[in-house]
């Protein structure tokens, strides 16, 4: 079972509409949680970084929330645009007792915006 689960697996919405993507994780202890946007055939681009103590962080039309108690995060996209069509990946970063870092990637949500 993947330690970082995302839902839905894919989503299609009309341009201008809002949507929310979910990320549930079981990895612990975690250092921070990140949301990335990945266009097809390109490297991921960071949207938000949230530490354990942060509940909400915004980046333009993207707003991420984090509930460390329930180990859930969400990414809300407001007023979607065609350019938002991409895969959105939730990534949990661990720092071990030995100082090694490890990233655990979610399975991603494929978002398609239609005009």
Partner 1 sequence: GAVVSQHPSWVICKSGTSVKIECRSLDFQATTMFWYRQFPKQSLMLMATSNEGSKATYEQGVEKDKFLINHASLTLSTLTVTSAHPEDSSFYICSASPGGTGNTIYFGEGSWLTVV
At its nearest, how many Å lie between partner 1 and the CB of residue 75?
15
Q: How far apart, in whole angstroms, are the C-alpha atoms of residue 77 and residue 23? A: 14
Question: Judged by CB, which is closer to partner 1: 19, or 91?
Answer: 91
Member of 36, 64, 73, 84 binding partner 1 (CB under 8 A): 36
Residue 49 burial (10 A CB sphere; 0-12, 13-18, 19+) = middle
Q: How far apart, in whole angstroms, are the C-alpha atoms of residue 79 and residue 31? A: 31
- Interface contacts to partner 1, rule CB under 8 A: 31-32, 34, 36, 41-46, 49, 51, 89, 91, 93, 95, 100-103, 105-108, 110
């Amino acid at each position: 079972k993947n330690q970082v689960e995302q839902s839905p697996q894919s989503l299609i919405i009309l341009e201008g509409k809002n949507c929310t993507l979910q990320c549930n994780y079981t990895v612990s202890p975690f250092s921070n949680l990140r949301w990335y946007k990945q266009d097809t055939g390109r490297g991921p681009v960071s949207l938000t970084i949230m530490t354990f103590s942060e509940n909400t962080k915004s980046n333009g039309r993207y707003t991420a929330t984090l509930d460390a108690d329930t180990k859930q995060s969400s990414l809300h996209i407001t007023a979607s645009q065609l350019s938002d069509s991409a895969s959105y990946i939730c990534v949990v970063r661990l720092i071990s007792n030995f100082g090694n870092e490890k990233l655990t990637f979610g399975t991603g949500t494929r978002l398609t915006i239609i005009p």
